[in-house]
Each structure stands twice: as structure tokens, then as C-alpha cells.
Chain A
């Protein structure tokens, strides 16, 4: 064997590059800790809608909730919000508001109602400025615009859905061809690049995309005072694209958040990484953390994580820190994994409580109340994962985000808020230990 490998050191090591990992790294770095964030792939935030919810529905389905902060104290004990408490949730959101420019909603505790590409209305605590003119609480008449080849957004269908939901405004949907000769399956970044840029060739001459698009829409505008587009309005300069379109149309312009891959998600990821970079953190993306070494905590204390191993094409590279944060996501993000026998947490092997009989993991009704939706690690009050007997797995390991159990983020619309609140709490706590 060659030369011994020294572990690559930092004070706080965060595993996972989603919203929880980024928030915890940011909280720790801003508290003065020497922080490193490791992410296997590019951030999953790039697939997120860009909306930041806190709590849209109560666990019993009541909602949409007007004020999440009124319901949070009534959540079950096992909910991560109960673990960290309302004050910490507020502090986490303040960190987000401070770090991420171009978001709205921080002026109030109340949920905003943002129309989505399916024509539903999503209760959300924070939303990108690009969606601000589209809020469902606004009574102005609305035109939704879809593009022929962009099948993820059917404007007429979304408009009919919104109408059926009883929104307090007139809404119509129209589908037009996007100017230029795009492929039938062009990606959202292609639309965005064209809208960012100078022009496309239409019938042999170069025209401004924004102007050409506005011209196509004018006959459809009618009484509408605002126009909603699928979220492809610019990558480099979204505000400029909206402004250009609004000027040409004589109406306000907004984006309707879309499914993955999502430009608002991409923009949010970029802003958070910029904030993390500005806070002096180190960031590595591209290789997975696959295991760890533990050391005795001394006496009756829990063991400590000594180092984790990053797999680089078969080489195991050690990374060491004083404190660790696990933010690898839930069942979809692979932070929680299962086979036919068991459910587990793959990096540190943390205990994930689940019924022994796998037929009890799910409900028979597809949209029923599935136990698996709440699978995840259980923690103590300091977010340290607990083993099967209720003791911390490791003294210096905290968990944040969807890897936590005890809540159903999809039903509650609480995924972003839990990631921000627990990420903030875990990062701050880790930084306090190393201070």
C-alpha cells in the first residue's frame, strides 16, 4: 500500500447538499465554524419548485392553513418542529431571508397562496419574486400562457382548475408557439437562454424573443392585468426578462412554478451556494460518503464519529471533523433506504423505527396515510439520532431535513420549513460545540 492518507479536516462536516445541508452549513459557517459540505451529486434543490413552505396543512388534513405558527405548537410530539420549537423555526427563516435575495413572504406569518402548474393553489411561507404577481389572493384578471411543446404546463387546464378551486379572479389559459425553431423537447434552460439572449431567427430574420412572444400574446390578452408563464423566464437575468415582457404586454408578468427540472429551484440552489461561499465554507460535490469510523466516547458516553469515507472511484478518502451533520434526504433522496426486510440509514447505519411486518409500512389506499411517509431517524432534543434503545447513536452527529422521521412533508407541505429549521438548529448547535 502507498502512503498513508491524512484525513481532510474541518470543524463541522455536513453530508448532503440539499436545503437542509446548505442551511446547516450556512448556520455553522456564519457562527464562525470552519465548515465543509459534501454532496454526492448536484443539489436536489435544482429539482425543487423554488417555493419555501413551512406548514400548509395540519396532519389531520385541515387546511390550507392561514398561519402555520398557530398550528405548530399543536403538532404531535414526534414532529421535528416540536423538537426545535417555534423560536428556532423563526430564526432559521430569518437566516434564509438574509442569505437569499429575491424572496418574498418574510413580512408576515401568514401563508401566501401560489398557483402551481397543475392549477392547484399551494400555501407557502416564502416565494420567489418571479411568482409574486401571480398570488391567488390578488383579484386581478389573469391570463395563463403555455407553450405548444412544453407539455408540462397546460395553461387552459391549469386555468380551469384554478377556476374550479374558486379563486377570486377571472382566469383564462392560452397555448402559443414559442418563437424560433425549438426542438419539440427543448429543456427549460433552452427557453431561458433564448429569453435571456438577444434574439432568435424567425423566417430568416433575427427578432427579439421577448418582443416576438409579446406580439403573439397581445390578441389573447383581453381584460387580463397579469400574465403567467411557465417558469422558464430567464436564467442569467430573470428580472430583466419579466420586465421586458411586462413592458411589451402592458401587463404584470409572473412565473408559475413547475415540476423538475426547475429553474426557480436552480436559481435558489445557486443563491444558497453563493451565500455559503461568501461565508467561507468549503464545498465538494461529485462523490458519495459511503461509511465512517467511530471512536470510543470515553466512559459511558456514546461513541463519536472519528471520520467519514468518501468513495472516489474505489478509493476511500477520509474526511474528519469535530462535529457532523447528516442531511442526506429521505426515501426519495436516498438518505433513508429500504429493502424487503428492513429500513435503514445508509451512511452511519442510524436506527430508523419501522414495523417489522413490511405490509404495515403502507396503507392500501394509494393516497392514504402511509406510515412510510414518516420513516426517518428519531432524535433527541439536540437533533442527535437515537438508537433502538433511545440513546444517541454518536455524540457528535446531528441530523436535519428529510432524513428525520415523524412527519409527512408531502401531505403537510412542510418539507422546506423542516429542512431550514432543523438545518439551522443542527448547524448552530455544531458550531457552538466547536466554538
Chain B
């Protein structure tokens, strides 16, 4: 248990000097082979990028990553994470004619390899940098793949336009000519139905409700009711794109649940978390978005706020990918102050006790077939919902197993990946069918799309159930 989860040790940034001090925790005085203090002889050319050599050197080729890779299990053309990461990294160090192998674009960025590696190799960081380099240097800006990937990676831009006329956009996007054209012209699978745009975005609802001032008042009332005085309970909500444009009910549930526990919320300026951009190698887009997010969150963290996200890929991005890929001021502070929403309540409140006392009725009094998203798994959250809700009266929850849903954000939207995506998802579909419940549950918006696509089940977010269980009707809108 001695090595930290910070891949490539020392924050993986050569400029950080490999500082491994952990405030508040006793130093253990042990050596982590992945830490960079040793200053290994410079064999390879100096470069300005993150130094991934310590990570590559830590790989002892056990192939645990390859065995955990859902794509390698179904795709005979995909060489797997061990090649994409440490092996490819070594290949390209001293041979000028070794570009990045195009198969890096077949990685779905589920990041399961990170969790599987017993040796602390920063696999997903290596994949992200290699993919970025490939797109930057080897992919034509005029190719259909580039254009398509850019469109998918920048979902937020299109969602913000589409949500100006939500009903019309949903109808048009799902009309057969548009789906046919998408497939033929762009290579976006026509098999999938576009998610509906909400008629009122989360931010519109938040503003109409009175924004931060109203939240402060509600939180104060809740603290009074709970007999807590003067608590400094403040969180900044990172809603991401999907809860804003498509499922504002998830954002509303988060707000009401946190206010129920006495937390004042703010909803700061934010862009896409970057997850779909990393997965498509669009690192310049990701850097721009991350810059905005880090700067707005860092200021709040300095004022005593923690960041909470309802989407597990968003929280993953802020916590792990930002510090692995970007060197913005405050990026480490934001990472260590970002949490998934239910996780945050588990850490700071007796949520288990409240759920045990509660019961749920109405439309959410159901049996749920729960799927843990890969990105939740990497944050140690894969059993959180099941362990919490199995003690809730009125609802039942069953884990549908540890397989990947197969959609991995934009991966399953690509026409040439659609069938592989469904092959990866087959195990989950089967387990959903055999589970008692006929309502799905997951934290991840695209996993939810895949669950719905494969089974026809309606899919809910754990925050919706938590709100139904804990927040009284009297709390208003």
C-alpha cells in the first residue's frame, strides 16, 4: 500500500521536483520506485512534456492491464493498454521513424488499466498523451475522422446551441434523414437515439430559483432545523454538460440534497470537464476547457469551498486527468478538493444513518439494476450506491456486475465502433435482464444511454433516489 495513486510519482511533473510530502499524515520513510527523486541518467532527449519515463520503467509486463481491457477482449485489432502505454512510449523515444500507432484511437479511455496495474504505471496518462500527439501530428485536419471526433468531443458547443430550441433540436437530431446523414457524412452511428434536450437547463432553473443567495438561505434554514450553527458548509457544483442540458433533474436533486444537509451551493462558470476531448486526443480543446474550470474552481477552493460533481467522469477528470496533463496554477488543489457528490456526503455526513432511517415511496420506490461506470470504479466508488441503498426501505438495488457498459462516452457513438461497443456491453445487458429490477441506475450519463439502448430500461441517477429518500416534499423547488 506504499505507493501513491499519483502516477509517475511526484505528481508526474518534472517541474514539481517529485515532492511526495503528505500533509497531516505520518511520513513512512519508504521508497517508492515510481518516484522521480533518483534523477535517472538522461538516456532520452530532454523535452518539455511530462516525463513519463519513471512510469514506463515501472512496468514489469505482467499484462494485468491487458486482461482488464474491455476493448482488447472483443477487438482483435487492438493491441491493448500495455502496448499503448509503456511499450509505445519506449518505442518512440529513440527512433525518429516511430510515430504513434494509429490503434491508440481504438482505446475507449475507460481507464480500467490504471486500476489493474499493481506497479503504479500511469497508463491512462500515457494513452492520453500518445493520443494527443497522434491527433496533433499524424491525423489530417481534413479527414472525416478528425471532423467527426472534434464534433463529438465538443458536445457542449452543440448542446448549448441545440438547447436554445430543445424540442425542435431533439426531434430534428432524431429524424431519420439527419441520423442517416450523420452516419454517412460524419461516421456517427445512426443506430443510437440522441438524448433529449431539457426544456429548462439546470442553469436556467438555478438562476430562476434565486441562485447562490437563495441557496444560502435554504442551507441556513436546514442547518437551523438540524441544530447545527455556523457550520462552514459550502460546495461548488460542477454539473458538467449533461446535467445542464439533458438531465437537469440530476442537478436539481443534487442541489436539494446538499441543501437538506445544510450546504450552501454555488454554481460557478464552467466548461466541459474535458473527458470526451481526452478520449479523442483533442488536448488543445481540453486544455482550454480545463483552464477555465481550474481557474474558477481554484478561487472557490481558496475560499473554503469543495467541488462536487454528479457525473463520475467529470470528477475523474478534475481529480486525475487535470493534474496528470496540465500544469495550471491551482490544479493540484482543485484535484484534492474535488469529490463525487454522494462520496462527499459519505465523507462529511452520517448519510448511512439517514438512509437507514428513511424510506422511499412514489415513482422511485423501485427495484434498480445498478451499473458502476468504469470511471467511478477508478475513484473507488463502484460499490457506493449498492452499499448505501441496500439499507433503504422501499427500494431495492442489485449490482449488474463489473463489466464495462461499452459506450465509453463518444466511443460507442462512432459508426465503426458501434458493434464493438455493443459486444462489450453484452455482458451488462444480460445481467440487467436477469436482475430483479426493471429500472436502471448509474452515475454516468453515457453509461445510462447504453443501458437504455441495450435494454429499453429507464435509467436513474443515485442522487435522484437519495433526494426522494431524504428530502421532504416541503422543501419546495
Contacts and interface: CB of A to CB of B under 8 A. Distances in A.
B304 A2 contact: yes
Interface SS of A by simple majority: loop
A41 B72 CA distance: 20
Contacts of B381: 286
Given A185-B79, A286-B378, A339-B31, A313 B72 contact: no
Interface string B395-406: 000000000000
B62 A5 contact: no
Interface in A283-324: 283-292, 309-317
Given A2-B306, A183-B79, A337-B30, A289 B337 contact: no
Contact of B1 (A182, A284, A285, A347): A347
B428 to A, nearest CB: 13
Contacts, number: 176
B62 to A, nearest CB: 5
Size class of the A contact interface (CB-based, 8 Å) = 35 or more
B233 A288 contact: no
Interface in B290-329: 304-306, 319-320, 323
Given A3-B348, A5-B348, A47 B383 contact: no
Nearest to A191: B73
B130 to A, nearest CB: 18
Nearest to B430: A236
Contacts of A92: none
Contacts of B4: 288, 290, 311
Interface in B376-412: 377-383, 387
A291 B233 contact: no
B335 interface: yes
B1 A6 contact: no
A260 B335 contact: no
A346 B30 contact: yes
Interface in A187-202: 187-190, 193
A283 B1 contact: no
Contacts of B427: 236
B63 interface: yes
A182 B323 CA distance: 37
A261 interface: yes
A115 interface: no
A47 B62 contact: yes
Nearest to B377: A286
Contacts of B1: 15-16, 40, 288-290, 328, 334-335, 346-347
A40 B5 CA distance: 9
A211 B79 CA distance: 27
B76 interface: yes
A392 B73 CA distance: 48
Interface stretch (B115-123, B195-203, B245-253, B361-369): B115-123
A344 B2 CA distance: 11
A3 B335 contact: no
A208 interface: no
B395 to A, nearest CB: 18
B76 A193 contact: no
Contacts of A349: 26, 28-29
A4 B24 CA distance: 14
Nearest to B384: A284
B68 interface: yes
Contacts of A187: 63, 66-67, 69, 72-73, 80
Given A16-B1, A187-B80, A291-B25, A261 B62 contact: yes
Contact of B64 (A47, A288, A334): A47
B115 A2 contact: no
B26 A313 contact: no
A383 to B, nearest CB: 18
B234 interface: yes
B443 interface: no
Contact of A42 (B24, B72, B79, B116): B116
A414 to B, nearest CB: 22
Nearest to A318: B347
A218 B379 CA distance: 49
Contact of A282 (B323, B350, B387): B387
A316 B22 contact: yes
Nearest to B32: A337
A338 interface: yes
B419 interface: no
Contacts of A1: 304
B76 A181 contact: yes
Given A3-B348, A316-B25, A188 B2 contact: no
Contact of A284 (B29, B305, B349, B380): B380
A310 B337 CA distance: 14
Given A47-B118, A316-B24, A349-B26, A286 B379 contact: yes
Nearest to B390: A280
Interface in B406-439: 427
Nearest to A288: B1
B331 to A, nearest CB: 11
A282 B6 CA distance: 25
Most B C-beta atoms less than 10 A away, residue of A5, A261, A314, A339: A314
- Which A-B residue pairs are the 5 nearest by beta carbons? A314-B336, A286-B380, A291-B25, A346-B2, A261-B67
Interface of A: 1-6, 8, 15-16, 40-42, 44, 46-47, 180-183, 185-190, 193, 236, 260-261, 266, 282-292, 309-317, 328, 333-335, 337-339, 342, 344, 346-347, 349
24 contacts: A3-B232, A8-B346, A16-B1, A44-B118, A46-B64, A187-B66, A189-B66, A260-B64, A285-B380, A287-B380, A288-B3, A288-B5, A310-B380, A311-B4, A311-B25, A312-B319, A313-B320, A313-B323, A315-B336, A316-B22, A316-B24, A338-B31, A346-B30, A347-B2
Given A314-B6, A317-B347, 7 more contacts: A8-B347, A185-B80, A187-B63, A289-B1, A290-B1, A313-B336, A347-B28
